[in-house]
């Protein structure tokens, strides 16, 4: 038996013993645990699952144990992810800290920043939000204007961030700010860690046409941030942001693997196909099969990229590729289910709809958001064209 086989068996045994049966079912809408200082649980099982995974260090399985991580290598981390997925375990918590800023601090943070922030992220005790987008800077992120002016050992921050997910319940924000207006567009940007309880920070939730949303707009009015909270050197923010967006895209390309609230695509498709109009059934069946094959091919491709990475091949450019494929496949799967369900899927709420059908319309709409968040599909294609394929910009 190889070490990997033994490790897989030990993970399987541990998960069988420690993941409560109720945590092996898709969570209801809103039934996920958000890391942070305002932790709350829907059930005893949800709390047990959170605490057991936390104590294993498996919120951040590949981080060093001294920062509260699991100390696993890349192969072991992948085995853990596969076993969590195989058992259909729910994600024990959602935490942008672990997915995004944590890896950047591990690579580029000061020893003080690592000691202050990583253990709280790895234990799910501190919630982080991302302050990148601004009213005039989304895809063109380097056009950001939020200004940080140096005043002794502090920066004084003025401006606004928008589309900041869950800012109203987060403890800290990692943000891109302009520290030098005279430098070039990319050169004048720095990354700051901002305590959301600082005087001058205000958060306004944004309502959308579909109702309440998790988006917020955050305003900074002469907010004082210690220079010690700057990650990397002044002006290094753009390089750090690129690294962070790579981590974000990698994390997003795994969405759906671990039972985030979702629909069992094949189970629902099997249920709906016999009910569909006989004339269009062959075409719909073809779409279902294509979607299932795309998903399978996607899993094999990520596995191949993982093996290539282990063999020393640079696979960093593939993060954009996987983010693009995963979010577009996910959208297509929901489109297929909507086509299968026809007018039955148009219900929004009410007792007439069973659970999955009720979720469908919302999740179909939601599937589009993944093609925007973390950089739109068009931007991923631009990145692929330039950085992976080496094509010239603007066709020139
Ligand atoms: C669910 C969700 C969560 C989010 N959470 C956060 C968050 O926590 N923090 C945060 O900072 N931001 C967040 N965002 C914002 C997100 O990063 C931006 O919406 C995204 O980068 C696009 O920017 P924009 O909305 O300004 O659109 P725009 O940049 O105005 O784009 C509009 C359209 O033009 C296209 N386009 C723009 N430029 C090009 C180009 N060069 N080539 C081809 N097409 C182009 C885009 O693809 C898009 O279709 C979130 C967004 C979503 C949907």
C-beta 165 within 6 A of ligand 1: yes
Beta bridge partner(s), residue 173:
129, 194
pLDDT at residue 258, as a whole number: 46
Ligand 1 pocket test target in 135, 139, 189 with most atoms within 8 Å of CB: 139
d(CA 82, CA 61): 13
Which is nearest to 192 in space by CA: 230, 152, 227?
230
Mean pLDDT for all residues in the chain: 89
Mean pLDDT of 228-245: 95
One DSSP character per residue, 307-362 reads: HHHHTT---TTHHHHHHHHHHHHHHHHHHHHHHHHGGGGG--SSTTS-HHHHHHHH
> How much of the chain exceeds pLDDT 90, in percent?
62
| 242-301 pLDDT tens trace | 999 888 877 766 655 544 456 778 888 999 999 888 999 999 999 999 999 998 999 888
Mean pLDDT of 49-77: 95
pLDDT at residue 350, as a whole number: 53
Q: From atom 13 of ligand 1, which residue's Cα is the shortest distance away? A: 163
C-beta 63 within 6 A of ligand 1: no
| 177-196 pLDDT tens trace | 999 999 989 999 999 999 99
Residue 172 — pLDDT band, cuts 50, 70, 90? very high
Residues 391 and 385: beta-carbon distance below 8 Å: yes
Q: What is the 3-state secondary structure (H, E, C) of 4-71?
A: HHHHHHHHHHHHHHHCCHHHHCCCCCCCCCECCCCCCCCCHHHHHHHHHHHHHCCCCCCCCHHHCCCC
The overall longest dimension of the chain from CA atoms, in Å, is: 74
What number does the ligand 1 atom closest to the CA of 167 have?
A: 8
Mean pLDDT of 52-58: 96
| 107-142 pLDDT tens trace | 999 999 999 999 999 999 999 999 999 999 999 999
- Give yes or no for residue 337 having a pLDDT over 50: yes
C-beta 370 within 6 A of ligand 1: no
- In this structure, the strands spanning 172-178 and 189-195 are antiparallel
Residues 360 and 345: beta-carbon distance below 8 Å: yes
pLDDT at residue 6, as a whole number: 95
pLDDT at residue 135, as a whole number: 94
C-beta 16 within 6 A of ligand 1: no
pLDDT at residue 348, as a whole number: 64
pLDDT at residue 327, as a whole number: 92
Residues 6+ apart with CB under 8 A from 169: 34, 36, 38, 127
Q: How far apart are the CA of 252 and the centre of ligand 1, in A?
A: 15
- Give yes or no for residue 395 having a pLDDT over 70: no
pLDDT at residue 385, as a whole number: 92
pLDDT at residue 352, as a whole number: 45
- 33-47, 109-123, 199-213, 302-316 — most confident range: 109-123
- Indicate the range of 55-59, 229-233, 252-256 predicted with least confidence: 252-256
Phi and psi at residue 112, in whole multiples of 5°? -65, -45
d(CA 279, CA 123): 54
pLDDT at residue 366, as a whole number: 82
Which is nearest to 191 in space by CA: 173, 168, 171?
173
Q: How many CB atoms lie within 10 A of CB 13?
A: 11
Helix count and strand count (H, E) for the chain: 12, 8
C-beta 59 within 6 A of ligand 1: no
One DSSP character per residue, 173-218 reads: EEEEEES-SSS-TTTTEEEEEEETTSTTEEEEEEEETTEEEEEEEE
Residue with the two structure tokens 């982080």: 128
CA-only gyration radius of the chain, Å: 22
d(CA 205, CA 203): 7
Residues 301 and 69: beta-carbon distance below 8 Å: no
Where do the domains of the chain lie, and which CATH numbers do they carry?
3-102 (1.10.540), 128-235 (2.40.110.10), 262-395 (1.20.140.10)
What number does the ligand 1 atom closest to the CA of 165 have?
A: 8
Ligand 1 pocket test target in 248, 324, 373, 374 with most atoms within 8 Å of CB: 373
d(CA 140, CA 151): 29
pLDDT at residue 204, as a whole number: 96
């Amino acid at each position: 038996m190889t070490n990997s086989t033994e490790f897989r068996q030990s993970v399987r045994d541990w998960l069988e013993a420690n993941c409560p049966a109720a945590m092996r079912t898709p969570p209801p809408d809103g039934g996920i645990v958000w890391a942070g200082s305002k932790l709350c649980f829907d059930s005893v099982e949800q709390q047990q699952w959170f605490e057991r995974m936390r104590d294993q260090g498996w919120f951040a399985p590949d981080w060093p144990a001294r920062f509260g991580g699991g100390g696993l290598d890349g192969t072991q981390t992948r085995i853990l992810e596969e076993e969590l997925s195989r058992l259909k375990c729910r994600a024990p918590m959602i935490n942008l800290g672990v997915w995004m800023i944590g890896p950047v601090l591990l690579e580029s943070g000061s020893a003080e920043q690592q000691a202050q922030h990583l253990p709280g992220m790895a234990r799910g005790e501190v919630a982080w939000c991302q302050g990148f987008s601004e009213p005039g800077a989304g895809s063109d992120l380097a056009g950001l204007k939020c200004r940080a002016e140096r005043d002794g050992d502090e920066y004084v921050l003025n401006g606004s961030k928008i589309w900041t997910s869950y800012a109203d319940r987060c403890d800290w924000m990692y943000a891109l700010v302009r520290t030098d207006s005279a430098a070039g567009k990319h050169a004048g940007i720095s990354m700051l860690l901002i305590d959301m309880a600082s005087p001058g920070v205000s958060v306004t939730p944004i309502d959308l046409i579909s109702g309440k949303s998790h988006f917020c707009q955050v305003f900074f009015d002469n907010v004082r941030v210690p220079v010690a909270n700057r990650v990397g050197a002044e002006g290094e923010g753009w390089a750090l942001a690129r690294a962070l967006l790579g981590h974000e895209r990698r994390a997003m390309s795994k969405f759906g693997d671990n039972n985030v609230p979702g629909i069992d695509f094949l189970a629902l498709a099997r249920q709906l196909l016999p009910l569909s109009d006989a004339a269009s059934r062959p075409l719909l069946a073809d779409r279902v099969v294509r979607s299932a094959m795309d998903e399978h091919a996607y899993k094999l491709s990520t596995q191949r990229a993982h093996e290539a990475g282990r063999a020393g091949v640079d696979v960093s450019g593939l993060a954009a590729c996987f983010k693009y494929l995963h979010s577009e496949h996910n959208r297509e799967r929901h489109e297929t289910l909507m086509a299968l369900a026809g007018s039955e899927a148009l219900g929004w709420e009410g007792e007439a709809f069973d659970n999955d059908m009720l979720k469908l319309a919302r999740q179909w709409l939601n599937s589009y958001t993944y093609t925007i968040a973390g950089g739109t599909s068009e931007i991923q294609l631009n990145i692929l064209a330039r950085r992976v394929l080496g094509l010239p910009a603007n066709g020139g």
